[in-house]
Amino acid sequence: MSTHAARLAALREQLAATALDGFVVPLTDEHMSEYVGDYAQRLAWLTGFQGSAGTAVVLPADAAIFTDGRYTLQVRQQVSADDWQFVGVPATSVSAWLGANAPQGGRIGYDPWLHTSAWVNEARAALAERGATLVAVDTNPVDAVWPDRPAPSPATLAVQDDARAGLRSAEKRAQVGAWLAERKADAVVLTALDSIAWLLNIRGRDVAHTPVALAYAIVQADGTADLFVAPDKLTDEVRRHLGNAIRLHDRDAFARALGGFAGKRIAADPERAVAAIFDALTAGGATILPLRDPVVLAKAMKNPVEIAGHRAASARDGAALARFLRWVEAEAPKGGLTELDCVAKLQTFREASGVLLDTSFDTISATGAHGASPHYRVDQESNARLELGQLYLVDSGGQYADGTTDVTRVLPVGEPTPEMRDRFTRVLKGHIALATAIFPAGTNGGQLDGFARRPLWEVGLDYAHGTGHGVGAYLAVHEGPQRIAQPNYPGGGPSEPLKPGMIISNEPGYYKAGEYGIRIENLILVEERVCEGGTMLGFETLTFCPIERSLIDPALLTVAERDWLNDYHAKVLAVLGPQMAGDELAWLEAKCAPI
């Protein structure tokens, strides 16, 4: 029996011992985070799946793992089809599958600290049609059979100084206090780790690649706040920074504190606060205002200091990536270069800046067929050599104290085929269409998504992921509420109107299963544009790194598209050129020459 099959069997035994007929295992933590600490990696431990989004359901005789279109190939490579059914979302939801497959009259367990109230209500309704019930557990049964489960990170907090934050924490908390006053609310519960980090101008090291700390916060209408965090995380510097307006409590005291708001009006975000929080507030007699976390939009609209910091981070990061691309171009055709070699070398180039704090996610280093999995993550088992005739895709980013980067480039190893050049050029055309879009205030990302897809749609092609996600300021590489996506694709659904100051990715792609993947990603900034008829919105491109010329078919570009590309490469040379010299600079000049 394989390791993961044995883990599945152990979980089934645990469920039977606790009178449960099933259990739902989401990939999240108590904060509804996308990226979670090792202690919360229950889905990966149980199934072997290494993606960043998914859910498993375990029943006595059946088990299913639910992933979206980004992971269609990856989940089948990493998870045993002998033990698991593969179910695509959103075509089939977890609740709908439970409603069709749960045992009649069964008891299906869930951890109320890992699901929203909306999900609980939806699943409960679906199960009721089979006479089954949804049961909240006090102890997660996966934890009970995970003998070497890591402890939560003990890392200490750090101060994000005002010179980089652009606003003092007191100013940010005053804004939240005014928001509460407008709604006649007494306090708001904050659970999103990046919201707490941004509001209090602190950072942490509890989650790989995302500089946040495991904590909760409750902000009062007077602008003071209660922070619930493990005491060992608080250095003297952090305590001084937080000051007397931030009351400090052990993180373990948070659940009890929720019962102390009888007769009070408490705001909580139904998308970001788990069901257990709503249950505790209700049991304590609070009146709950189900409102979006007020930090979310404020954090997304970067202030001038944050924007300037991102530009500086992007310039140094672009130089590191350009040096890496030059190295791959020289070394790959010789043979022997592997995907993991590339990950290590890119890390070396970024670390040479002397200010890299982390990567912003696990580098996607994918050659050939691996590139067709949009979120492929190389490991020792999957590590492949870059071979002649392949495309090599690298999607990566850095965490710097002044900004978070995310950029994707593609290189041919040897001579690309005409089809590769056609597909790459169509992806580039879509990228340019979005980069040059002009649109009125109130436009959301979903309304712009088709701009990036049209050149592919014209020949009957598409890609099964969103076109853009928000990016934080030395925070999460995936940040809401802004996004650019079709409603039926990952990251879709109701979309936030784009506003000046938002940073978002522009990353159309194309993926041919079994052969190659293409994605061109830059980060872009929403800014105001003065037009003949009035003020509109548009994008400023923030990422500077050459786009591979040998993969472009100039005959497919319009004059305007060619002008954009040449202008972009002129800016790349202006931004990166001063950081290079000698052969490196000559290489960059050749890559940035007009087409």
- CATH at 24: 3.40.350.10
Whether residue 448 is contained in a domain is answered as: yes
Q: Which of 113, 144, 175 is the last residue of a domain?
A: 144
Closest-CA residue to 498 (of 296, 301, 269): 301
How far is it, in rounded angstroms, from Cα 18 to Cα 31?
26
CATH code of the domain containing 309: 3.90.230.10
268 and 339 within one domain: no
Q: What is the pLDDT of residue 340?
A: 98
444 secondary structure, DSSP code: B
Q: Rounded to whole angstroms, what are the CA distances from 21 to 13, 54, 110, 132, 543?
A: 10, 21, 11, 10, 50
Q: What angle do CA 459, 461, 465 make, to 5 degrees?
A: 150
483 and 344 within one domain: yes
Whether residue 114 is contained in a domain is answered as: yes
Q: Rounded to whole angstroms, what are the CA distances from 498 to 157, 272, 469, 483, 537?
A: 32, 21, 12, 8, 8
Helix (H) or strand (E) holding 365: strand 364-367
* CA pseudo-torsion sign 359, 271, 298, 451: positive
499 and 421 within one domain: yes
Whether residue 149 is contained in a domain is answered as: no
Q: Which pair of tokens denotes residue 15?
A: 């469920």
Q: Please give the backbone phi and psi of residue 343, each rounded to the nearest 5 degrees, phi first.
A: -60, -50
* Radius of gyration of the chain from its Cα atoms, rounded to whole angstroms: 24
265 and 124 within one domain: no
CB 504 within 8 A of CB 477: no
Whether residue 531 is contained in a domain is answered as: yes
565 and 443 within one domain: yes
Q: Which of 256, 278, 298 is the last residue of a domain?
A: 298
Q: Please give the backbone phi and psi of residue 516, each rounded to the nearest 5 degrees, phi first.
A: -165, 165
Domain of residue 87, residue span: 3-144
291 and 181 within one domain: yes
451 and 403 within one domain: yes
Whether residue 455 is contained in a domain is answered as: yes
Helix (H) or strand (E) holding 73: helix 72-78
**What total number of domains does the chain contain?**
3
Whether residue 594 is contained in a domain is answered as: no
Which residues lie closer than 8 Å to 531 by C-beta, 6 or more apart?
Answer: 438
Instruction: Say whether 379 sits in a helix, a strand or coil.
Output: coil
Write out the chain's pLDDT in tens, 595 residues.
Answer: 689 999 999 999 999 999 999 999 999 999 999 899 999 999 999 999 998 899 999 999 999 999 988 888 889 999 999 999 999 998 899 999 999 999 999 999 999 999 999 999 999 999 998 999 999 999 999 999 999 999 999 999 999 999 999 999 999 999 999 999 999 999 999 999 999 999 999 999 999 999 999 999 999 999 999 999 999 999 999 999 999 999 999 999 999 999 999 999 999 999 999 999 999 999 999 999 999 999 999 999 999 999 999 999 999 999 999 999 999 999 999 999 999 999 999 999 999 999 999 999 999 999 999 999 998 999 999 999 999 999 999 999 999 999 999 999 999 999 999 999 999 999 999 999 999 999 999 999 999 999 999 999 999 999 999 999 999 999 999 999 999 998 766 555 567 999 999 999 999 999 999 999 999 999 999 999 999 889 999 999 999 999 999 999 999 999 999 999 999 999 999 999 999 999 999 999 999 999 9
553 and 436 within one domain: yes
274 and 318 within one domain: no
459 and 523 within one domain: yes
Q: Rounded to whole angstroms, what are the CA distances from 435 to 184, 279, 335, 422?
A: 41, 44, 36, 20
Q: What is the pLDDT of residue 486?
A: 86
CB 367 within 8 A of CB 390: yes
Whether residue 591 is contained in a domain is answered as: no
Q: What is the pLDDT of residue 491?
A: 53
121 and 163 within one domain: no
How far is it, in rounded angstroms, from Cα 473 to Cα 298?
12
CA atoms within 13 Å, Cβ hemisphere of 517? 30
413 and 490 within one domain: yes
Q: Which of 246, 265, 298 is the last residue of a domain?
A: 298
Whether residue 346 is contained in a domain is answered as: yes
How far is it, in rounded angstroms, from Cα 70 to Cα 373?
7
How far is it, in rounded angstroms, from Cα 356 to Cα 346?
12
CA atoms within 13 Å, Cβ hemisphere of 436? 14
